[in-house]
């Protein structure tokens, strides 16, 4: 069946999520297919940041830690994110970056499994996940080994040597979704703990951490949660582990009594021990607004729309560019595909630059992946038509071969 733009406009008219678009400050003449990398600015975040800067910081100064509730922001925003990932409010907090949280929780987990020397992950996982664990392994003098095995060999690689299974639920490049519940159950069957990276899941699909029995999780604030560039990240520790899990970055904000100023570290009870230093208030304030918008939307509808958008996008690429123009890296089955689709092409970088020059913004992941993210709160179905029409035109005319699209920038 041939897809027409009119069909997509009909879908937009019937879209229950359509009103959310007005809550985002979208640049004109732009089709933004990169909300999986940096979410769009929520309108409410602009006013909030102005208030935090001018009133709370400018006028309130140090008093705002109490008067404006700054000190409670990590747990407050954590509690809101908990509602998006199937956790209880006191199991999630916001701190540091995803990278740092991975380090803290992986270290806490291996301490809970003395005698086991393996952390299991998969090759091609998001680089920072592997790098941080290589750093942890080095720090521990090689007492812990990071072992990577392909997804289809994961179940067999889970043996009683394994202390921790670390996986990203939705793969950053392919978009493939792991069966979190099944792999967690399998890890538990051999006595291992699990740490799931939800960077491409939170705000994109319904996550049920407690339903899956997950032990630890981390995730990103600046992607689908629209928290802004470099937004702080979140972390989850299941309540049953909160008394045993001790993380090594034992800063004063995770102390049981930070304002007693004692010499010896004593971890706070509960999730607060996973804070390290002073919380970044500007970033947390913006993130709270991003999460607040997401929390009002129905996650079932979000997932349904993004799955449909992924299917439509793939069909449109085939229809307008031809069946052999691109390879498809992502699963075609929407049930095991996250909220983005990746195509492959040897000239992928230049093609993406040519698209961006036309105001269609996706990104490129080496060596050859063009990545397109679908964010149902602010994208319209008809945007897909317009985006793929540009892509087809660029391919037909060979526009991407121009010299100006060949030079690599620092951030792709
Ligand atoms: C985006 C992303 C991160 C980001 O880590 P930072 O410390 O915020 O730079 C980590 N893991 C995955 C899987 C990601 O997609």
Residue 410 confidence class, pLDDT cut points 50, 70, 90: confident
- Is residue 340 located within the same domain as residue 201? no
Three-state SS annotation for the chain: CCCCHHHHHHHHHCCCCHHHHHHECCCCCCEECCCCCCCCCEHHHHHHHHHHHHHHHHHHHHHHHHHCCHHHHHHHHHHHHHCCCCCCHHHEEEECCHHHHHHHHHHHHHHCCCCCCEEEECCCCCHHHHHHHHHHHHHCCCCCEEEECCHHHHHHHCCCCEEEEEEECECCCCCEECCHHHHHHHHHHCCCEEEEECCCCCCCCCCCCCCCCCCEEEECCCCCCCCCCCCCEEEEECHHHCCCCCCCCCCHHHECCHHHCCCCCCECCHHHHHCCCCCCHHHHHHHHHHHHHHHHCCHHHHHHHHHHHHHHHHHHHHHHHCCCCCEECCCCCHHHECCEEEEECCCHHHHHHHHHHCCEECEEECCCEEEEECCCCCCCHHHHHHHHHHHHHHHHHCHHHCHHHCCCCCCC
**Does residue 59 belong to any structural domain of this protein?**
no
Domain finish residue from 296, 326, 356:
296
Domain finish residue from 296, 319, 349:
296
Which CATH number belongs to the domain containing residue 383 in this structure? 3.90.1150.10
Q: How would you list the strands of the sheet with 363-365, edge to edge?
A: 327-328, 340-344, 369-373, 363-365
Q: Which of 20, 32, 103, 126 is catalytic?
A: 126
Q: Is the pLDDT of residue 142 over 90?
A: no
- Is residue 37 located within the same domain as residue 157? no
* Distance between CA atoms of residues 125 and 134, nearest Å: 13
What are 76-108's pLDDT values in tens digits? 999 999 999 999 999 999 999 999 999 999 999
What Cα–Cα distance (Å) separates residue 244 from each residue in 109, 161, 197, 227, 328? 9, 20, 21, 31, 44
**Does residue 53 belong to any structural domain of this protein?**
no
- Whether ligand 1 lies within 6 angstroms of the CB of 233 is answered as yes
Domain finish residue from 230, 262, 296:
296
How high is the mean pLDDT of the chain? 97
- Is residue 149 located within the same domain as residue 237? yes
> The tokens of 174 are what?
């392919």
- Whether ligand 1 lies within 6 angstroms of the CB of 129 is answered as yes
**Does residue 327 belong to any structural domain of this protein?**
yes
Percent of the chain with pLDDT over 70: 100
What are 285-308's pLDDT values in tens digits? 999 999 999 999 999 999 999 999
Range of the domain at 169: 69-296
- Please say whether the dihedral angle defined by the alpha carbons of residues 283, 285, 287 and 289, taken in this order, is positive or negative: negative
Q: How far is the CA of 187 from the centre of ligand 1 (A)?
A: 23
What are 310-321's pLDDT values in tens digits? 999 999 999 999
**Is 126 a known active-site residue?**
yes
- Whether ligand 1 lies within 6 angstroms of the CB of 122 is answered as no
- Is residue 233 located within the same domain as residue 315? no
- Cis status of the peptide bond prior to 54, with omega within 30 of 0: no
Which residue in 174, 239, 169, 166 sits closest to 203, CA to CA? 169
For a mutational test of ligand 1's pocket, the pick from 39, 195, 220, i.e. the residue with the most ligand atoms closer than 8 A to its C-beta, is 220
Q: Return the pLDDT at 409.
A: 85
Q: Return the pLDDT at 225.
A: 98
* Distance between CA atoms of residues 355 and 33, nearest Å: 11
- Whether ligand 1 lies within 6 angstroms of the CB of 383 is answered as no
Q: Return the pLDDT at 412.
A: 84
The answer to whether the CB of 292 falls within 8 A of the CB of 80 is yes
Q: Which of 20, 32, 172, 222 is catalytic?
A: 222
Q: How far is the CA of 412 from the centre of ligand 1 (A)?
A: 15
β pairing state of 363-365 and 118-121: unpaired
**Is 24 a known active-site residue?**
no
Q: How far is the CA of 5 from the centre of ligand 1 (A)?
A: 35
**Does residue 396 belong to any structural domain of this protein?**
yes
* Distance between CA atoms of residues 59 and 89, nearest Å: 31
**Is 408 a known active-site residue?**
no
**Does residue 410 belong to any structural domain of this protein?**
no
Q: How far is the CA of 159 from the centre of ligand 1 (A)?
A: 27
Number of neighbouring beta carbons within 10 Å of residue 389 = 16
- Whether ligand 1 lies within 6 angstroms of the CB of 121 is answered as no
The structural domain count of the chain equals: 2
- Is residue 286 located within the same domain as residue 306? no
What are 334-348's pLDDT values in tens digits? 999 999 999 999 999
- Is residue 117 located within the same domain as residue 223? yes
CA 286 to chain centre: 16
- Whether ligand 1 lies within 6 angstroms of the CB of 234 is answered as no
- Is residue 121 located within the same domain as residue 241? yes
- Whether ligand 1 lies within 6 angstroms of the CB of 98 is answered as yes
- Whether ligand 1 lies within 6 angstroms of the CB of 128 is answered as yes
- Is residue 206 located within the same domain as residue 120? yes
Q: Return the pLDDT at 271.
A: 98
**Distant-in-sequence, close-in-space partners of 46: CB < 8 Å, separation ≥ 6:** 25
For a mutational test of ligand 1's pocket, the pick from 104, 175, 199, 223, i.e. the residue with the most ligand atoms closer than 8 A to its C-beta, is 199
Q: Which of 48, 104, 116, 223 is catalytic?
A: 223
- Is residue 237 located within the same domain as residue 360? no
- Is residue 281 located within the same domain as residue 324? no
Beta bridge partners of 162: 118
Locus of tokens 């678009």: 21
- Whether ligand 1 lies within 6 angstroms of the CB of 96 is answered as no
Ligand 1 atom at shortest distance from the alpha carbon of 37? 1
Q: How far is the CA of 402 from the centre of ligand 1 (A)?
A: 32
The answer to whether the CB of 122 falls within 8 A of the CB of 90 is no
- Is residue 290 located within the same domain as residue 307? no
Q: Return the pLDDT at 202.
A: 98
Q: Return the pLDDT at 408.
A: 85
The answer to whether the CB of 383 falls within 8 A of the CB of 31 is yes
Q: Is the pLDDT of residue 367 over 90?
A: yes
Ligand 1 atom at shortest distance from the alpha carbon of 233? 8
- Is residue 281 located within the same domain as residue 323? no
For a mutational test of ligand 1's pocket, the pick from 94, 106, 128, i.e. the residue with the most ligand atoms closer than 8 A to its C-beta, is 128
Ligand 1 atom at shortest distance from the alpha carbon of 101? 7
Nearest 10 degrees: Cα torsion 10, 13, 14, 15: 110
């Amino acid at each position: 069946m041939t897809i027409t733009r009119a069909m997509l406009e009909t879908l937009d008219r019937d879209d229950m999520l359509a009103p959310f678009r007005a809550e985002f400050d979208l640049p004109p003449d732009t089709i933004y297919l990169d909300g999986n990398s940096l979410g769009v600015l929520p309108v409410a975040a602009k006013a909030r940041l102005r208030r935090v800067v001018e009133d709370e910081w400018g006028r309130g100064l140090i008093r705002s830690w109490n008067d404006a509730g700054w000190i409670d922001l990590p747990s407050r925003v954590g509690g809101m994110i908990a509602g998006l990932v199937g956790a209880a409010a006191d199991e999630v907090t916001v701190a540091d970056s995803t990278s740092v949280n991975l380090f803290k929780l992986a270290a806490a987990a291996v301490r809970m499994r003395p005698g086991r020397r393996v952390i299991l992950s998969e090759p091609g996982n998001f680089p920072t996940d592997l790098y941080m664990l290589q750093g942890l392994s080095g720090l521990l003098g090689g007492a812990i080994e990071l072992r990577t095995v392909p997804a289809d060999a994961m179940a067999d690689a889970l043996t009683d040597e394994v202390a921790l299974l670390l996986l990203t639920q939705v793969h950053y490049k392919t978009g493939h979704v792991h069966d979190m519940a099944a792999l967690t159950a399998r890890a538990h069957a051999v006595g291992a703990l699990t740490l799931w990276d939800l960077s491409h899941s939170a705000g994109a699909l319904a996550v049920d951490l407690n339903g899956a029995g997950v032990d630890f999780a981390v995730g990103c604030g600046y992607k689908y949660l629209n928290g802004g560039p470099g937004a702080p990240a979140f972390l989850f520790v299941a309540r049953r582990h909160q008394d045993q899990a001790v993380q090594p970055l034992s800063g004063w904000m995770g102390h049981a009594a930070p304002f007693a100023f004692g010499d010896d570290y004593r971890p706070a009870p509960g999730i607060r021990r996973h804070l390290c230093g002073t919380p970044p208030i500007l970033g947390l304030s913006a993130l709270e607004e991003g999460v607040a918008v997401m929390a009002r939307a129905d996650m079932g509808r979000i997932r349904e729309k993004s799955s449909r958008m992924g299917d439509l996008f793939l069909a449109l690429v085939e229809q307008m560019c031809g069946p052999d123009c691109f390879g498809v890296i992502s699963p075609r089955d929407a049930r095991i595909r996250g909220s983005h689709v990746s195509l492959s092409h040897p000239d992928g970088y230049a093609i993406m630059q040519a698209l961006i020059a036309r105001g269609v913004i996706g990104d490129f992941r080496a060596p050859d992946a063009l990545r397109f993210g679908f964010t149902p709160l602010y994208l319209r179905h008809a945007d897909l038509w317009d985006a793929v029409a540009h892509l087809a035109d660029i391919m037909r005319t060979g526009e991407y071969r121009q010299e100006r699209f060949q030079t690599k920038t620092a951030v792709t």
